[in-house]
Amino acid sequence: MHYIDRLPATADHTSIITEHKRKQAWVNQEKKGFLRYRTPCQALAQWKAHNCDFSADTVSIGTGDEISSREKILIRENLKAFMPWRKGPFSVFGNDIDAEWRSNLKWNQLREELPELENKIIADVGCNNGYYMFRMAARKPRFVLGLEPSVQHYYCFKALNAMAGCSNLDIDLLGVEHLKYFVECFDVVFLMGIIYHRPSPVDTLRDILTSLQPGGTMILETQAIPGKTPVALFPDGTYAKVPGTYFVPTASCLINWVRKAGFKNIKLFASHAMTPDIQRRTEWMIYESLSDYLDPADPTRTVEGYPAPLRVFLKAEK
Ligand SMILES: C[S@@+](CC[C@H](N)C(=O)[O-])C[C@H]1O[C@@H](n2cnc3c(N)ncnc32)[C@H](O)[C@@H]1O
């Protein structure tokens, strides 16, 4: 565990180390469900990229001319083990990965509003395969910690960063529920695509407040429903076929949550409808996607008959 020394003394080091060890003992078991991702991760780690570019829409790790054509095929086969790829695009030693989400579009919505990231300590909560962590790396942060409980995404990031070699990026198999141990650790916390999965969103926001240094910034992006009234949809079963959805707020409801959690200088800076050019089925994600989640006769409704999702973007300070 290399990142513990990068955290300030205010962190609850004992609890973080205990949780980390517990998760490592679990994931290091010789079980099929772990080996299906650990084995390709270890295979990919043998290639070290000389040329990386994190500043463009496609996160590029290594170029095709650094390896042989046989190696390129081997790399592609191992990358396929992490399907379905949800976030991207990536290019890995010339293998182009067109993921379900064009995450570059989300990043482009954010980047004008980002606080200074250079030399900062950052958390990306629910970081998935680390697409945004690599985009942050282009801005020279001191350290970015990704919290991601999914074994698939954890090993996918580990594989990508073993090839990319960014010593200021790391990931742990933790979740948003562990933020309470990271007392006053982060200058910036990203919480994107998470809050509607939380049964108690205001408590989650309070945990983020705890984890921020005084004056720190939260960048929050979430699904939302249209409307001016400060209310949240609480779906019966799934929302847009997604299980585990609790509260889907209007923008004004979200602002109220953030304010009541104790944040200040709250700014809602973008809002748009979800469209199939942002989230769609690709060669690297062969299952259903957004167009299957909306009512084909009325795309302003989900298949369950709820208002179709917007995405809203907000920043706020401690
Ligand atoms: C909808 S995706 C959003 C990914 C990314 N943040 C983005 O905005 O594109 C939700 C992510 O949260 C992760 N996740 C699931 N449970 C979590 C938890 N308790 N804490 C943090 N992340 C969690 C999932 O594995 C997944 O990678």
Neighbour-count burial for 298-310, b at 16+ CB within 10 Å, e otherwise: ebeebeeebbbbb
Is the Cβ–Cβ distance between 48 and 165 less than 8 Å?
A: yes
Token reading at 48 = 């070290």
Which atom of ligand 1 is the closest one to the Cα of 221?
A: 8
C-beta atoms surrounding 175 within 10 Å: 16
DSSP assignment letter at 233: E
Centre of ligand 1 to C-alpha 125, Å, is: 7
Compute, in angstroms, the gap from residue 65 CA to the centroid of ligand 1.
Answer: 34
Number of independent structural domains in the chain: 1
Looking at this protein, which amino acid is placed at residue 316?
Answer: A
Query: Backbone phi, then psi, for 177, in 5-degree steps?
Result: -70, -10
The whole-number pLDDT of residue 1 equals 65
86 found inside a domain: yes
Q: Do residues 267 and 221 make contact, with C-beta atoms less than 8 angstroms apart?
A: no
Measured by CA distance, the residue closest to atom 13 of ligand 1 is: 126
pLDDT of residue 83: 98
User: Looking at the domain assignment, is residue 282 inside a domain?
Assistant: yes
Which residues sit opposite 190 in a β-bridge?
Answer: 124, 219
Query: What is the mean pLDDT of each successive set of 10 residues along the chain, which is 318 residues long?
Result: 90 97 98 98 98 98 97 98 98 98 97 98 98 98 98 98 98 97 98 98 98 98 98 96 96 98 98 92 94 92 96 98
The 8-class DSSP code of residue 182 comes to S
Is 237 contained in some domain?
yes
237 near 306, Cβ under 8 Å?
A: no
User: Could you tell me the residue range of the domain that residue 34 belongs to?
Assistant: 10-317
Atom of ligand 1 minimally distant from the CA of 103? 9
Q: Please indicate, yes or no, if residue 259 is contained in any of the structural domains.
A: yes
For ligand 1, pick from 37, 105, 128 the residue to mutate: most ligand atoms within 8 Å of CB: 128
Q: What gap in Å lies between CA 81 and CA 284, rounded to an integer?
A: 10
The rounded radius of gyration (Å) of the Cα atoms in the chain is 19
The whole-number pLDDT of residue 2 equals: 80
10 Å Cβ neighbour count for 114?
A: 16
DSSP assigned state of 4: G
1 assigned to some structural domain: no
Give the separation between CA 148 and CA 130, rounded to whole angstroms: 9
CB 254 within 8 A of CB 300: no
Ligand 1 nearest atom to the CA of residue 148, by list position: 22
How many Å apart are CA 90 and CA 51, to the nearest integer? 13
Please give the distance, rounded to the nearest whole angstrom, from the Cα atom of residue 193 to the centre of ligand 1: 6
Separation of CA 178 and ligand 1 centre (Å): 14
pLDDT score recorded for residue 102: 97
Please list every protein residue whose CB sits less than 6 Å from any atom of ligand 1. Answer: 87, 103, 125-126, 128, 147-150, 153, 175-177, 192-194
Cα(288)–Cα(281) distance, integer angstroms: 6
In this structure, are residues 279 and 101 in contact, taking their beta carbons and an 8 Å threshold? yes
Residue nearest to atom 23 of ligand 1 (CA): 126
Domain membership of residue 4 (yes or no) is no
Count Cβ atoms within 10 A of the Cβ of residue 44 and give its class: 0-12 exposed, 13-18 middle, 19 or more buried: buried
Measured by CA distance, the residue closest to atom 3 of ligand 1 is 193
The pTM score is 0.98
Asked, for residue 5, whether it belongs to a domain, the answer is no
Q: For atom 20 of ligand 1, which residue has the closest CA?
A: 175
Distance between CA atoms of residues 172 and 174, nearest Å: 5
Q: Residue 313 maps to which CATH number?
A: 3.40.50.150
Residue 2: inside a domain:
no
Nearest ligand 1 atom to the CA of 190 is 6
Residue nearest to ligand 1 atom 17, measured at CA = 175
Taking CA atoms only, the protein residue closest to ligand 1 atom 27 is 128
